[in-house]
Amino acid sequence: MPPAIRCRRLPCAILLAAAPFAADPRPAAAQFPEGPYIAGGAGVNLVPNTDLNLDQTTRLGLGQAGYGGSSSVGFTTGFAGVLSLGWGFGNGLRAEIEGSWRSNDLNSASGLAGWASAGEPGGRQESWGVMGNLLLDLGVIGPVVPYVGLGAGYIVTDWSGVRGIGHNGTLRMTVDDSDGRFAYQGIAGLAFPLNFAPGLSVTAEYRFLGTLQPQLRARFDNPTTGAAVATGTVEPDNFNHSLMLGLRYSFARPSVAPAPAPAAAPQAQRTFLVFFDWNRADLTDRARQIIGEAVQHARTQRSTRIEVAGHADRSGTVQYNQALSRRRAETVAAELVRQGVAREEIFVTALGETQPLVPTADGAREPQNRRVEIVLR
């Protein structure tokens, strides 16, 4: 036989932008940058109306001259650009250092010296500096990888040629100065990986950038006589809302989740057949040899279950053959134990004449049906 807050002072817009993505934080490692990358973006920069906060010396000087000491200025929609070098950790977390530049022209003023009724003010506000950012990719939603981030750094605010004449032409303000201050920002963005260019993604971002109030030297004088009215500093608020499109390129290939290990193929079961003489349940020498081979294979393949099934031919009654098949199975189990197999690893069944190896008529003596099958699992 074979074997078988006011939003301009606090980046609240970031929280609103990130909320839809928080519902599905499951990462898709195949899209997360790992190792060095470079990123850049450009777009529009919006500066809210900015209060001019005058120091006490300037206020006193203007008050003595009969002018009020409060004002605000407005800016046109301007430009924002950033360039970043970063490192992805392969788990969605990224750290980067960023250089940025923003520029907005002044286009309105009110309050101080009656600017609103006396011609157009002019000048420009520019901001540039360096920020350190920590960002987190939230996962993959279809073709999109949303992310959020926070940053801190140093930004220089420059007012170049900011000027205005008001109060019937009797007072002129001029600011032409720059000052660097601590800066903070919040980021919310979407990355669109490009399948045809591994490592390259298109990005769309909203950034809120704020700084501590810069101190800028200001001069107030009479434009007709040139006589100084007051000198001192203005401390404008500096808040920026930027919307940008950009590109990010990861030099290393994105991390890929390791493929699951293939399930171990189950070991093929192995079956040994022990045959008996007619109406006998004792072992022949050949039967003991076959049982020994079964024991060796059980040890080699480290079997944990050995099934022993007794059978009989159809030459007796059903009840007698059932009992005979059990005696044969118990005999084989005893020999297995004698040769070193633990009894708890052996499972004995008696099938009588119900599963003949060779189908026969009732009462027929068939040697191949007088057997015990040893199955190793």
User: What is the side-by-side strand order in the sheet with 346-350?
Assistant: 270-275, 371-376, 306-310, 346-350
Does pLDDT of 374 surpass 60?
yes
**According to the model, what pLDDT value does residue 33 have?**
83
Going by pLDDT thresholds of 50, 70 and 90, the confidence category of residue 120 is low
**According to the model, what pLDDT value does residue 212 have?**
96
Per the model's pLDDT, the better-predicted residue between 89 and 19 turns out to be 89
Which of 152, 97, 159, 153 minimizes the C-alpha distance to 127?
159
Q: What is the pairing mode between strands 346-350 and 306-310? A: parallel
**According to the model, what pLDDT value does residue 169 have?**
61
**According to the model, what pLDDT value does residue 190 have?**
96
For residues 347 and 329, the answer to whether their CB atoms sit within 8 Å is no
pLDDT tens for each residue of 155-201: 999 999 887 766 556 677 788 999 999 999 999 999 999 988 888 99
Least confident span in 35-49, 75-89, 252-266? 252-266
Going by pLDDT thresholds of 50, 70 and 90, the confidence category of residue 107 is confident
**According to the model, what pLDDT value does residue 252 have?**
79
Does pLDDT of 40 surpass 60?
yes
pLDDT tens for each residue of 155-164: 999 999 887 7
H or E segment and range at residue 336: helix 318-338
Which of 208, 7, 217, 235 minimizes the C-alpha distance to 100?
208
Does pLDDT of 105 surpass 80?
yes
Distance of CA 335 to the CA centre of its chain: 60
Q: How far apart are CA 209 and CA 186, in angstroms?
A: 7
Q: How far apart are CA 377 and CA 374, in angstroms?
A: 10
**According to the model, what pLDDT value does residue 198 have?**
86
Per the model's pLDDT, the better-predicted residue between 32 and 348 turns out to be 348
The CATH code that applies to domain 270-376 is: 3.30.1330.60
Going by pLDDT thresholds of 50, 70 and 90, the confidence category of residue 255 is very low
Q: How far apart are CA 188 and CA 212, in angstroms?
A: 22
Least confident span in 17-26, 59-68, 233-242? 17-26
Mean pLDDT (the chain, rounded) = 82
For residues 204 and 33, the answer to whether their CB atoms sit within 8 Å is no
Does pLDDT of 330 surpass 90?
yes
Domain residue ranges in the chain: 12-250, 270-376
Going by pLDDT thresholds of 50, 70 and 90, the confidence category of residue 72 is confident
Least confident span in 62-66, 92-96, 184-188? 62-66
Kindly state the average pLDDT of the residues 221-225: 77
Going by pLDDT thresholds of 50, 70 and 90, the confidence category of residue 106 is confident
For 298, phi then psi, to 5°, come to -60, -40
Least confident span in 86-90, 174-178, 252-256? 252-256
Does pLDDT of 262 surpass 70?
no
pTM of this prediction?
0.58
**According to the model, what pLDDT value does residue 108 have?**
78
Per the model's pLDDT, the better-predicted residue between 35 and 265 turns out to be 35
Token digits of residue 126: 């520019």
Reply yes or no on domain 12-250 having CATH 2.40.160.20.
yes
